[in-house]
Structure 1
Amino acid sequence: MATNTDTTESKASSEHAHNTRYKGVSEKKRKPSLDWDDLEERGKRRRGKEGEKWRRRNSVTHLVASIYADVEAAVETQRRIAGQAPILTQEERLDYESSEDMRLDHLREFRLAQMFSSPKTRNRLRAAPVPRGRRFDSVRAGRDVVTRAVVDKWRLLNTIIDTLGWVVIAICLHSANFRTRFLEATDAVDFTERLEKLRLHKESIEFFAKSRQFDWLEVTTEQEEQDVLLRDLNCLLTGTAIPKEQEINEDEAEDARLNADTKIAGFPNDGAGLDHPHEWKLSADGLTAVRLTFLPGGGRATLQLQSNIEHSVVLPGHRWPDRKKWILKEEPRYRAEFDESCEACNDPGAGEGKKWRAGCQCSVNNLKTRLAADGAYFGDRVELRNVHPILGTGVRALQRLPAHSLLAEYTGEIYPLYKTQQRGKYKNSTYLYCQTRRLSNGEIENAMNIDPSIHGNWTRFINHSCRPKTDFVLYSCGEKIVTCVKVRKRAIEFGEEITIDYGKSYFENQGLACRCREDACRLWNADKMKDNRTTLRQARQEGFAPDWADD
C-alpha cells in the first residue's frame, strides 16, 4: 500500500512539475483570451457617442422642421377663427388659448430682457419710487420681476434677439417646440447647435410666414396689458410721470409691439398679390422675395405672371387627333374599361349599360386622403428658392417626405399633342409634359400636353437630376388618369432639394447640356454628343470636364 501511495504521489508531483514547467511557455504562445464584457462596454461607449451625434443632429433638424409645421397650423387656426374654415371646437379653443398664454409669457421675458439687461438699468429701476394704489400693483410686481431676474438667462435671451431678430422670434414663438425644446433647454451644446441652425433658416422662416400672410403679431388683451406694464416700467426708468389712464394709445402700442415690417424685400406692403405662397420664390441669399414669371417664346412675347392652380384645366376649342382609337371619344384623361380601378376608393367603374366612366367622383384630394391614412402622403410644405444661377428656381422640402409618398398632381393647361407642335402653346417647352394613354388595342401612346407655363403648381419648378428623388407616376383617380409626383425608394429629408428625371430626349431635343452635377451624370454634354457614355466623374478624372462641373 505504501508503494502504491508513493507511486500516486510521484505521479501527481510529476504532473505538477510538468504543468509548472510549461505553463509560462504555453500562455505566451496562445492568443490572449477575449474579454467579452470589456468589448461590449467599449462597443456601448462607441455606439453611445455615435448615437448622441445622430440624436443631436436629428433633434436640431426636427426643431427647425417643427417650426414650419407649427406656423402652418397657426395660419390654419387664424383662418378658422376668422370664419374662413370650420370653426374651432371647444377643446381646440382651450388648447389655443393655453398656447397663447405661454407665447405671451415668453414674449414678456424677451422684452424685459432687452429693456433691462444691464445692471445699471436694474439698479435705477430698483431705486425708483412707485406711486401707491391698486392701479400700480402690476408695475410694482413687474419691477420686482426685473430686479430679481436671473442675469444669465437674460443674456441668453439677448443672444437670441441679436442672432434671429424680433420678426423671426415673433414667428417662432407660435411654435410649441420652439418654446419648450429651445427656450427651456438646459443643454448648452444643444442650445448652440439649435441657435446656429435657426440662424441659417431665419430668412426662410420669415419668407414662409410672410408668403402665407401669417399675422404673427395678432394683438390680444394680455398683450395690450403687457404694453401698458412695459410703458410704465420705462417711465420709472426714465424718471417721467406714469400716465394714470389704464389704456395705451395706438401710437404707443405700435412702438411697444414688435416690428411687423419684414426684412425681406419684394413683398407688397398691403398684402395684395399674395394669393398663393407658391407664386413666390426666395432669392439665393434669402434677402428678396420674387414674384414668379414666365416669358413665352416668340418675337413680341411679354413677361407673364405665373399663377397656382389646384387642378388641371382642359383648354376648349381644340380638336383631339386619333379619337377613333379611343374607347371614349373625349379628352384622353378619361379612363377606359381596361384601365385600373379608382385608386382613391377602389371603384372599378360604371355599371352595366352605362357609358364607361368611374362610378365614383373622387378627386386627387381624395387620393391624397386615402394614401395619408396609410402614411404615404404628405402635404405641400415646400419652399421655392433660387438654387443656382443656371438652374434657377428649385423646390426645397420643409418636412421629411417618406419613401414612396405621393406629393402632388402635376397640374397645368391640357391641350392636344400635335406632331408639328414641338414647343407647346407658349412656344417654350421648359415645363411641358406629355401624358400617355392606353388605346383600345392595348398599346400606349403619347396623347396630350400638360403645360404649366402660366397656370400650374409648385411641381413645375422641380429641377432635373440624373439621380432623381421623385418620379412621374400615373394614377387612376375618379373618372380620369392623372400624372402625379411620387417619392422614390429613399426618403427626402428636411432641407433637401426635390429633383426628378426629365429624360434624355428633353436635353437632346433642345440641344441642352445637363447641369445636375451628379457624378453619375451621362448627359453633361448632351448638347454636343447624343450617345455619350462617359459619366461626369470620369470626365473629371480624365481632365476634360467643363468648368461649371466643379461649381
Structure 2
Amino acid sequence: MAANTDTTKSEASSEHSYNTRYKGVSQKKRKPSLDWDALEERGKRRRGKEDEKWRRRDSVTHLVASIYADVEAAVETQRRTAGQAPILTQEEHLDYELSEDMRLDYLREFRLAKMFSSPTTRNRLRAAPVPRGRRFDSVRAGRDVVTRVVVDKLKLLNTIIDTLGWPVIAICLHSANFRTRFLEATDAVDFPERLEQLRLHKESIEFFAKSRQFNWLRVTTEQEEQDVLLRDLNCLLTRTAVPEEREINEDEAEHARLNADTRIAGFPNDDADLDHPHEWKLSADGLTALRLRFLPGGGGATSLLQRNIEDSVVLREHRWPDRKKWLLKEEPRYRAEFDESCEACNDTGADEGKKWRAGCECNVKKLKTRLAAEGAYFGDRVELRNVHPILGTGVRALQRLPAHSLLAEYTGEIYPLYKTQPTGKYKNSTYLYCQTRRLSNGDVENAMHIDPSVYGNWTRFINHSCRPRTDFVMYSCGAKIVTCVKVRKRAIEFGEEITINYGKSYFEGQRLACRCREDTCQLWNADKVKDNRTTLRQARQGGFAPDWADD
C-alpha cells in the first residue's frame, strides 16, 4: 500500500502543481498544440500587409516614372507630326487623336474648376438664363459640365491645381497613366501619396519637358473651341452680351490658355535651340536650369560649354605611338583576333575558330539595338542635377534600370597617353578615363585617354561611390573596343543616383578625399590615411572621421 501511495503521489505531483496564491492544487499548464491553419492565416495576413505596402510604393513610383516616359513619347510624336521623323502610321494617328480628345476633356475640367471654384459663381451660373438658339448650345453644354462634373470633382481638382500648378498639370495631362491611374482613381487609398510624389517631382517634370523643348500647350481646334466656351460662360456670368462671332482674338486666346511660362529660370526666353537636353542641369533647389560648363586648368579663366556627342572622336592631330603595329591604322581602339567576338552581331568571323572579322561594320547603335531586343539596354532617360556643393553635378535615374543592363558608351575625345601631360588636353584630369588594350601574350596595357571634358555625354557626370551601382565594361563592337557603363547585379530604381567606382589611384593622384558617405568607404581620406582598410564607420567609432561625414 505504501508503495502504491508513493506512486500515486508521484503521479499526482507530475500532473498538478501547488498554487500558493489560492492555497490549493491547480492543473499544471500545458503547452497548447499548434494550430497550423491559424498560423498560416496569420502569415498570409502579415504577408498581405507587406505586399500591399510594397504594391502601393511601387504604384506611386511607377506613376511618376511613367510620366517621364509618356512625355518622352509625346515629344517623339510631336517630332513625327512635324515631319522631323518618320510620319505616324494610320493606327498611331488614331491613337494620338483619341489621346488628345481625352487630354482636352481633362484640361477643360481643370480650367472650369478653377474658373468656377466659388460657390457663388457656380450658383449664379446655374441660375442664369441662356438664350435659345443653336449658337448657345455650347453655353448650355458648358453649364451642364460645370453642374455635373466640376461640382462633383471640384475639391479634388482644386487640390491638384494648388499642389502642382498649371505648367505641371498641362505637361502631365499628356501622360495616359496620369489621366487613367491618377485622375480617374479618385477613391484610391494611395491618392495622397501619389499627389505628394508628384509635388516632390514637379520641378523635375518641368525641367524634363522644357529641356526637350516639349510644346505641351500646342493649340488645337478643340482647344480654341474650349477658349470660346470659357469666354461665353464668362459673358453669361458677367451678364454681358455673348459676341456674335465664333472667333477669338489672339489676346483673349493667350489669356485663356494655360500659363506656359515655366517656374524654372535659366532657359532662353525665346525659341532658341536648346541643343541636347543633357547639356543642361537642374539646380539643387530645382528652381534654376544651368548650362553645363567646363573650366580648363593651367590658369585659364574662360569656361567652355560642354557639348553632347553620341560617338567618340579620335583626334588625328596627335602622334600615336607604335602606329605601324596596328591592325587598323585609322582606329586605335582596334579589335584583335584574340579579343572577344563582336557583341553587336555575335559574328565569330569568316573562318571557323576566328573571333574577329575585318568586314564587320557594327557600331554602338547596333549593339544597343540588339541588347534592347534582349531587354539588356535601356535609354538615356536620366536627369543631370546639382547633388552636392562640392561633388557638383550628379546623374539621377528617371526609370528603373534592371541589373546587368547597358546604359551608354563613355564617349569623348580620344588621344594617346602622354607622360608629360598627365592632366590631358585641357590640363584637368577630372573626367579623364584611361582605356586599356589586351596584348597577344595576354597582358593588358594602358592604350589611350578618353577625355569627355568638353565633348562627351551624360556618363561623364556619374559620381564616385565606394558601393557603386554601375561598372565600366569594355565591349567588342565592330572593328573596335568601346567602353560602356553597365548596371551591376542590383537594379537601379527610379530616382536613385547612378554611381561608379573611380578607383584608388584617382583620389591619390589628385589628393582628394572621398565623399561618398558610405559606411564601407575605404577612400574617405586617401591623401592622409595610407591604410585604406580603415572604413568610414571605423573612423566614426574612433573619433577621427572628417567633419563632413555626419552632414
Q: Does 1:112 align with 2:108?
A: no
Aligned to 2:400: 400
SS at match of 1:245: coil
The separation in 2 between residues aligned to 1:526 and 1:23, in whole angstroms, is 70
Residue 249 of structure 1 deviates from its aligned partner by 1.0
Q: Does 1:484 align with 2:450?
A: no
- Is the CA contact (8 Å cut-off) linking 1:128 and 1:236 kept in structure 2? yes
Structure 1 residue identity aligned to 2:309:
I
Residue 63 of structure 1 deviates from its aligned partner by 0.2
Residue 117 of structure 1 deviates from its aligned partner by 1.9
Aligned to 1:426: 426
Aligned to 2:368: 368
SS at match of 1:428: coil
- Is the CA contact (8 Å cut-off) linking 1:310 and 1:411 kept in structure 2? yes
SS at match of 1:232: helix
Residue 125 of structure 1 deviates from its aligned partner by 1.1
- Is the CA contact (8 Å cut-off) linking 1:335 and 1:480 kept in structure 2? yes
* Match runs of 1:92-171 below 5 Å: 92-149=92-149, 151-171=151-171
Aligned to 2:504: 504
Residue 196 of structure 1 deviates from its aligned partner by 0.3
Q: Deviations over 1:107-142 (max 9, x none)?
A: 011011111122210111122222221111111121
SS at match of 1:497: coil
Structure 1 residue identity aligned to 2:385:
R
Q: Deviations over 1:409-456 (max 9, x none)?
A: 000000001222210000000000000112233321000000000000
Aligned to 2:4: none
Aligned to 2:307: 307
Structure 1 residue identity aligned to 2:241:
A
Residue 21 of structure 1 deviates from its aligned partner by 8.9
Aligned to 1:61: 61
- Is the CA contact (8 Å cut-off) linking 2:228 and 2:247 kept in structure 1? yes
The separation in 1 between residues aligned to 2:431 and 2:156, in whole angstroms, is 48
Aligned to 1:536: 536
Aligned to 1:231: 231
SS at match of 2:435: strand
Aligned to 1:12: none
* Match runs of 1:74-89 below 5 Å: 74-89=74-89
Structure 2 residue identity aligned to 1:526:
A
* Match runs of 1:259-298 below 5 Å: 259-298=259-298
Say which is worse superposed, 235-244 or 406-415, in terms of deviation.
Answer: 235-244
The TM-score normalised by the length of structure 1 is: 0.93
Structure 2 residue identity aligned to 1:44:
K
- Is the CA contact (8 Å cut-off) linking 1:326 and 1:439 kept in structure 2? no
Structure 2 residue identity aligned to 1:537:
R
Aligned to 1:50: 50
Q: Deviations over 1:268-322 (max 9, x none)?
A: 0123241100000000000000000000011234110000000000111111113
Q: Deviations over 1:38-62 (max 9, x none)?
A: 1111111111111111111000000
- Is the CA contact (8 Å cut-off) linking 1:337 and 1:349 kept in structure 2? no
Residue 350 of structure 1 deviates from its aligned partner by 5.8
Structure 2 residue identity aligned to 1:309:
I
The separation in 2 between residues aligned to 1:273 and 1:391, in whole angstroms, is 29
Aligned to 1:526: 526
Aligned to 2:441: 441
- Is the CA contact (8 Å cut-off) linking 2:281 and 2:385 kept in structure 1? yes
Change (3 A) 1:434 1:495: same
Q: Deviations over 1:192-219 (max 9, x none)?
A: 0100000000000000000000010111
The separation in 2 between residues aligned to 1:23 and 1:173, in whole angstroms, is 76
Structure 1 residue identity aligned to 2:145:
V
SS at match of 2:533: coil
Structure 1 residue identity aligned to 2:53:
K
The separation in 1 between residues aligned to 2:188 and 2:476, in whole angstroms, is 52
- Is the CA contact (8 Å cut-off) linking 1:203 and 1:264 kept in structure 2? yes
Aligned to 2:453: 453
- Is the CA contact (8 Å cut-off) linking 1:347 and 1:359 kept in structure 2? no
The separation in 2 between residues aligned to 1:28 and 1:153, in whole angstroms, is 64
Structure 2 residue identity aligned to 1:304:
L
- Is the CA contact (8 Å cut-off) linking 2:401 and 2:487 kept in structure 1? yes
The separation in 1 between residues aligned to 2:272 and 2:280, in whole angstroms, is 13
- Is the CA contact (8 Å cut-off) linking 2:113 and 2:150 kept in structure 1? no
Q: Deviations over 1:373-399 (max 9, x none)?
A: 111110000000000111100000000
- Is the CA contact (8 Å cut-off) linking 1:348 and 1:358 kept in structure 2? no
SS at match of 1:320: coil
The separation in 2 between residues aligned to 1:421 and 1:351, in whole angstroms, is 43
- Is the CA contact (8 Å cut-off) linking 2:283 and 2:290 kept in structure 1? yes
Change (3 A) 1:301 1:321: farther
- Is the CA contact (8 Å cut-off) linking 1:513 and 1:527 kept in structure 2? yes
SS at match of 2:260: coil
SS at match of 1:442: coil
Residue 327 of structure 1 deviates from its aligned partner by 4.1
Structure 1 residue identity aligned to 2:427:
K
Aligned to 1:10: none
- Is the CA contact (8 Å cut-off) linking 1:384 and 1:396 kept in structure 2? yes
The separation in 1 between residues aligned to 2:497 and 2:236, in whole angstroms, is 53
Aligned to 2:22: none
Structure 1 residue identity aligned to 2:498:
I
Structure 2 residue identity aligned to 1:207:
F
- In the alignment, structure 2 segments of 5+ residues that lack a partner are 1-7, 18-26
Aligned to 1:8: none
- In the alignment, structure 1 segments of 5+ residues that lack a partner are 1-16
Change (3 A) 1:113 1:531: same
Change (3 A) 1:152 1:543: farther
The separation in 1 between residues aligned to 2:188 and 2:248, in whole angstroms, is 39
* Match runs of 1:462-473 below 5 Å: 462-473=462-473
Q: Deviations over 1:474-531 (max 9, x none)?
A: 0000111000000000000000000000000000011111111110111111122343
Say which is worse superposed, 315-324 or 106-115, in terms of deviation.
Answer: 315-324
Change (3 A) 1:24 1:118: farther
Q: Deviations over 1:155-204 (max 9, x none)?
A: 11011000000000000000000000000113353110100000000000
- Is the CA contact (8 Å cut-off) linking 1:383 and 1:398 kept in structure 2? yes
- Is the CA contact (8 Å cut-off) linking 2:435 and 2:449 kept in structure 1? yes
- Is the CA contact (8 Å cut-off) linking 1:424 and 1:451 kept in structure 2? yes
Structure 2 residue identity aligned to 1:436:
T
Say which is worse superposed, 227-236 or 27-36, in terms of deviation.
Answer: 27-36
- Is the CA contact (8 Å cut-off) linking 1:320 and 1:331 kept in structure 2? no
SS at match of 1:445: strand
- Is the CA contact (8 Å cut-off) linking 1:279 and 1:308 kept in structure 2? yes
Change (3 A) 1:136 1:29: closer
SS at match of 2:227: helix
The separation in 2 between residues aligned to 1:383 and 1:458, in whole angstroms, is 9
Aligned to 1:206: 206
Residue 365 of structure 1 deviates from its aligned partner by 1.1
Q: Deviations over 1:447-477 (max 9, x none)?
A: 0000000000000000000000000000000
Aligned to 1:11: none
- Is the CA contact (8 Å cut-off) linking 2:331 and 2:480 kept in structure 1? no
Say which is worse superposed, 82-91 or 129-138, in terms of deviation.
Answer: 129-138
- Is the CA contact (8 Å cut-off) linking 1:281 and 1:386 kept in structure 2? yes
Aligned to 1:338: 338
Aligned to 2:184: 184
The separation in 2 between residues aligned to 1:532 and 1:244, in whole angstroms, is 82
